[in-house]
Amino acid sequence: MTDDAASASGRSQYRIEALAKGLQVLRLFDETSNALRLREISERTGIPMPTAFRIVATLEEEGFLDRTEDGLLHPGVAVLTLGSAALRGSGVVEASERPLRSLGQATGETVNLGVLQGDRVLYLARYRNADIVTANIQVGSTLPAVYTSMGKLLLAYLPASEVTRRIGKDPFASGFGPNAVTSRADFDAQLAEIRAQGYAIQDQELAGGLRSVSVPVYGRGPDPIAAINVAVSVSRHDLASLKGTILEQARAAASEISTRMRAE
C-alpha cells in the first residue's frame, strides 16, 4: 500500500458519516442558493428525505440553520459566527491587514485579499474606498475564479489537470462582463500569459465598468497561498495606469504580506 493510500485509509477509519452529511448540507448554501426547501436539500445531496429531515432538524436546533414561516431554510447565526471567527483568525488575514490598508490609502481604490475555494475566489479581506461596480461584495463572498483577477492568478499557478478538476472543461456562462472569456482555449492562453508576467488583469470580464490587477502572496513554499488585487473603475484608470504605478504598489504590498507570512 502506498503512503497516500495508507493515509486515505487512515482518514476513512475516523470518518463520521452523519457529520459529513451535515457539512454537505451546509455547503449547499452560497450566493446563488441562500434559501432552500427540505426537498431541494434532499435532491441536491442525494440524501434520503427522512435522513435529510433529521440532519436539518439537528442543524436548526444548534443554530446552524433557520427556517422561515413558509418553510425555507437558510444559514443561521451559528454559521456566520464560525465563519467570522475563522476569517479573523486566519494568519494571512492578520498579516495582510496593515499592508492592505496602506495600499488602499495609497491608491484611493478598493483592495481585496482572496484564496481559491474550488472553482471560486473567497474574499478574506476587503477595504473599500471608491465606489465600484461590485459594491455588494463583502468578506465571505465568493465569485467565479475564471472571471476575476485573483482567481485567474491563482489558477495560473496550478497544473493544467488541477485547473480542469476545479473549473471543468466548459465553465463559462453568460451574464458577466463584455470581455468575459468564452472558451477554455482562450482561458488557457490567459493563464499562460499570467504565469509569464507574474500578475493578472481583469478588464471588464466580471462586470462592465470594472477593472482590477492582482498579484500573488506567498508563504514559505514556492506556490502562492493567496492573492491581492486593486479594483478600479474604467472611468478612473486605463489599462496602462493599472499595469504601471498601481501594479507596483500592489506588488510592494504583496511582498510585505509574504514577508510577514514567512516570519510566522
> Of residues 180 and 76, which shows the higher confidence score?
180
Relative orientation angle of helices 38-45 and 17-26, to the nearest 10 degrees: 120
**pLDDT tens string 62-109:** 888 989 888 899 888 677 556 555 555 468 888 899 999 999 999 999
pLDDT at 75: 83
This prediction has a pTM of 0.70
The closest of 162, 124, 169 to 143, measured between CA atoms, is 124
Domains for the chain: give ranges and CATH numbers.
3-82 (1.10.10.10), 90-263 (3.30.450.40)
Buried b (16+ CB within 10 A) or exposed e, 109-142: bbbbbbbbeebbbbbbbbbbbeebbbeebebebb
Q: What are residue 224's phi and psi, to 5 degrees?
A: -60, 145
**pLDDT tens string 13-41:** 778 888 899 989 988 886 567 789 999 99
- Looking at the DSSP bridge assignments, the partners of residue 231 are 110, 212
CB under 8 Å to 202, separation ≥6 — which residues? 147, 148, 149, 152, 210, 211, 212, 213, 214, 229
